[in-house]
Structure 1
Amino acid sequence: MAMLFQVMSRAETANAHNAVRRAFGSIESSAGRRRALEAAAEIYFAQEWENPVVRKPFKSLMLAFEEGSKRRDEIAHGMAYGVTFNSTPMGCFLFPAEYNTQRTTPWMGNADDPFAFSRAKYRYTSTMIHGLASKFGELWHKVIEYTPTIRMVNGTPAVILDARFGDGTAQKVEAMLAEEKSKANSASSSEVK
């Protein structure tokens, strides 16, 4: 999220990157960071913000961040307990803390459920936690895939160019600009000689 915030803040110098990174890091909640990122996106995408081609991928990423944040909180604030049924050790599980009203129920569950004693809305095994870690890695890769699609190309986010003029337009514009720059550099080198 911090990387996207830096991109959307259009920080261009090392000091600007550092200031934006530190400002973003001072927001203490994940929800606050998501709101800050959305506010930056509204400015970054300007009048195209309402365009579904622009907005939908961003909103999908924010939803994934929100869900990931919930899972992260469950792991970080959970309590690990060993569980035994009828003198048989069942292993260790990560449960929410009993005082966590959002992640527990007020009453014990069905007597047929051997885990009903915990009133927990979730319980994780180490295998499940490793699976979540894998999903966090997938989310990181989604950000890595998304970031180039919003890069600025001659002052316009690439996704907007591609939406207006067809896929690949941003790359063509970049290639044309690179060629023009190369020609200008060659011309100025010739003049210096």
Structure 2
Amino acid sequence: MSFISRLFKPFSTMSTPATPMTAPAGAQTATVAAGCFWGVEHMYRRAFANKGLYDARVGYIGGDSKNPSYRAVCSGRTGHAEALQVIYDPEKVSYRQLLEFFYKMHDPTTANRQGPDVGSQYRSAIFYHNEEQEKIARDVTDKVNKEWWKGSVATEILPAGEWWDAETYHQLYLDKNPGGYECPSHFLRKFAPLSE
């Protein structure tokens, strides 16, 4: 969120520890950061609503403090990124497809920035949950760096550490506030399919 939009939105005192999302056996988790989490959640929900998405929530990951609040994360001092955690059915959508979408829906070429939103909390990152995800993340990143973004990708690929759910008013924010702030860098770009 931009500095101006932050002035007009509520701040709560703390996030909540992650509570497991209900999902059927075999469901998997993907965690990405692509700037302001409102737009990231909204775009993933629209794109994958009937294509394998069980649930999605916004929160904080990659930092070094416990129970970070939105205000603390916005300061840039906690090390957390605003992020999205997706629970999905791998029989209907693959991790690779989720990451290709990630690279189409934001600008991965600017370190610690998405559009007017500046700071480490807005960094581009993939937080992998196992070795297979790390392998796929590195492969997809290498290909999009060569074929789509011409060597300028600044996305971090990191192990998923502790996740903190963002405050309740952030969840489904753009569904509840259709005219709410959306980062201008969040839109679906058109690229040729990646090579095999």
Scaled by the length of structure 1, the TM-score of the pair is: 0.27
Structure with the higher strand share, 1 or 2: 2
Scaled by the length of structure 2, the TM-score of the pair is: 0.27
Q: Which has the larger radius of gyration?
A: 1
Structure with the higher helix share, 1 or 2: 1
